[in-house]
Amino acid sequence: MICSIFFIEFIHFNDKSLFSCTLAFFQQKFKIMFKQLLFIAFLLSALQSYSQNNSAKNSIRGELLLQLKTKTTIEKIRKDSGNLSITKIETISNRFHIYLLHYDEKAMSAQSLKKILKSKKGVLNIQDNHRISLRSIDNDTLPNDTFFNKQWALYNNGSGGGVAGADIDATEAWDITTGGLTALGDTIVVAIIDGGTDLNHEDLDFWKNRAEIPNNGIDDDDNGYIDDYDGWNAYNHTGNIPLFNHGVHVCGIAGAIGNNNIGISGVNWTVKILPIAGSSTTESTVVEALSYLYVVRETYNETGGEQGAFVVADNCSFGVDKGNPANYPIWEAMYDSLGQLGVLSNAATANRDWDIDSVGDVPTAFTTDYMISVTNTDKRDHLYSSAGYGLTTIDLGAPGTNIYSLRINNGYGYSTGTSMATPQVTGAVALIISAADSTFIANFKNSPAEGALLIKNFILKGVDTLPDLMGKTVSGGRLNVFNAINLLLNAPVIVTDIDSLFAKAPLNTPVEESFLLSNTGNDSLFYKITIANQPSWISLASDTGVLANQQYTTINVAFDDAGLDTGYYYCSMKIKGTDAFSKTIPVIFFVYTNVGINSLHQRKTIVKIYPNPFSSAVDFSINSTASGLYEIKIYDQYGKLMTERTKNLFAGTNNEIITTRNLPSGVYYYRIMTAGKFLKTGKLVKL
């Protein structure tokens, strides 16, 4: 740019003397500028050198951070790198496939190792690991509870012989939610089945059965339990909950009131605690306790939340050492039954250095899908020396060593054991559910068993993997509630533009229908479509695929009525995806002859509803071969009429768009009538 300016100025001079003087002037100026440019170049070089030296100064020798592409495994890199002087590999982030490599810097330089690894297929990033200095206060949500500094399981900064980060990442999770209510307004409850608790403890919020009048000797709510205002005592079949240190300690870990300037914080700050006494003596006592819990949650479902409790998890810090699960079928069946309601049972394994796969245990060797079995880790992320393990029986570890929690009579103290580890998971289940959006909660209520398994899957997939737990637990890691919440929030969501599929064809005439399949979640949807009992008359052009977030595809469905009689044929398609609620689509195929079709074809009207879930409006598309009046009514969960629409029905497609901006989020029911006769009913979900 400078040279260009000089040239432009020179061509305007015609006088030779003036040109000579001017040339001398610019030569002098150019020398000065050239020196300035040399100085600037030197300064830039120095700054670059300083940056490189400063980066090297902050680099941790012998360590590199490696990030892999989604479909590449660390096992493959480990195998391919056997001769690269890598001495140890630590998992930093399962979610983003990030690992910390330790290498022998005497055998190979960082630059050489980075160059080799960068060339390998499947490696996304490779860089130095650096020291970081603190620039401001910690942005994690830290409660003001008096003894929070003693709760290393929730926030481990490495003090007192601990290892920084050897915790469940509760403070990061609290940046998202601190518990309490679901997105649809349900009060979240966890059941603590133990020897008792302390109903008057200052740092606990207990659920109360408001439909029951305490101590009047009457079963006011007609649920089969007299005076169960505070919960249930399965030892003596009353509503009197005894004082018990172990029980109140467990309650505090799962759900002590957080950020209230008192005592400690639970994993979940505002969860309600349902106490049930019945954790020992006989199996029948345990079964009675679990049965009471079942009735409470079932009542909530049946009354639309008017009675009972929205219990999402129970805590069982008890069991039978070396018990044979085959001898306890009723106990295990109770966990299956609770799972069908959406309740995850969390069980503490034996406080012994035993391989539970070999010696057995009850309940943690049960094979039920609706139980999470837990072992005990310490503040250095080691498996506690007296804690059971098992590659196929024990799901994960959680902090359970020197855990500070509640005592009776407003006391506080330390305890150690798998009993302390398990309520960390119980509280986490409730916290995860409080973070879910209204779509997830609506699906959870419609398919509670499936929802419970999804939450369990998020917990097991979200663990921090630990060397002590690899090969010794199902997940190979320790609970991380923050990771689990993020897995839920990013999960794919299956959406279709139809609720059911209807096709018709004359005899011996193949036809084809289609529908749209969408993923409205954040993570990719790996889906598979199956047809129950796979009838010969229906087939799919493709039954598997992948949809990125906010992507959709057309699913083509072929119908072939060769060899069929006239009439109706039924089946259903189920769309399943990784980490997503499945969707079932009923299918009706009508086969007819051209002769007398009007008398045979009784199903004259087809209804499609889109979108569902919806936000501000829902479109009812009614395709009819007849005319007349149609009526659409929308009710809330309690049967209250929220809106209705009555209009003339014309032959062909009728679209009725109903705006719902004044309706709160939640689950609703619609009913469509034509000519005074019932046509269709179903559920709607308002986001």
Class of domain 168-488: alpha beta
pLDDT over 90 (residue 198) = yes
User: CATH topology of 490-601 equal to that of 604-687?
Assistant: yes
Band of pLDDT at residue 91, cut at 50, 70 and 90: confident
Q: How far is CA 265 from CA 16, 144, 219, 274, 410, in A?
A: 89, 9, 35, 18, 14
Range in 32-36, 47-51, 345-349, 445-449 the model is least confident about: 47-51
DSSP 327: G
pTM of the predicted model over 0.85: no
Mean pLDDT of 496-515: 91
Euclidean distance between CA atoms 156 and 379, whole angstroms? 7
pLDDT, position 82: 65
* Sign of the torsion formed by the C-alpha atoms of 653, 654, 660 and 661: positive
Q: How far is CA 171 from CA 162, 286, 356, 483, 650, in A?
A: 17, 34, 32, 12, 59
Mean pLDDT of 276-296: 92
Q: Show the beta-strand stretches assigned E in 463-524.
A: 464-465, 477-478, 494-496, 501-506, 511-519
pLDDT, position 636: 79
Most confidently predicted of 24-33, 50-59, 143-152, 598-607: 143-152
Question: Which two three-digit tokens encode residue 236?
Answer: 């003596």
Domain ranges of the chain: 2-52, 168-488, 490-601, 604-687
Considering the chain, what is the average pLDDT of its residues?
Answer: 85
pLDDT, position 271: 97
Sort residue 263 into left (φ over 0), alpha (ψ -120 to 50) or beta. Answer: left
> Residue 543, exposed/middle/buried by CB under 10 A (0-12, 13-18, 19+)?
middle
The strand pair at 666-674 and 677-686 is best described as: antiparallel
Range in 61-70, 192-201, 287-296, 386-395 the model is least confident about: 61-70
pLDDT, position 92: 61
pLDDT, position 377: 98
pLDDT over 70 (residue 15) = no
pLDDT, position 35: 52
Question: Which two three-digit tokens encode residue 428?
Answer: 């986490």
Band of pLDDT at residue 140, cut at 50, 70 and 90: low
Q: Show the beta-strand stretches assigned E in 214-279.
A: 232-233, 272-277
Euclidean distance between CA atoms 464 and 233, whole angstroms? 37
Architecture of domain 604-687: Sandwich (2.60)
CB 64 within 8 Å of CB 105: no
State which fold the 490-601 domain adopts: Immunoglobulin-like (2.60.40)
Euclidean distance between CA atoms 643 and 633, whole angstroms? 6
Range in 393-397, 436-440, 463-467 the model is least confident about: 436-440
Euclidean distance between CA atoms 572 and 499, whole angstroms? 11
Mean pLDDT of 423-452: 96
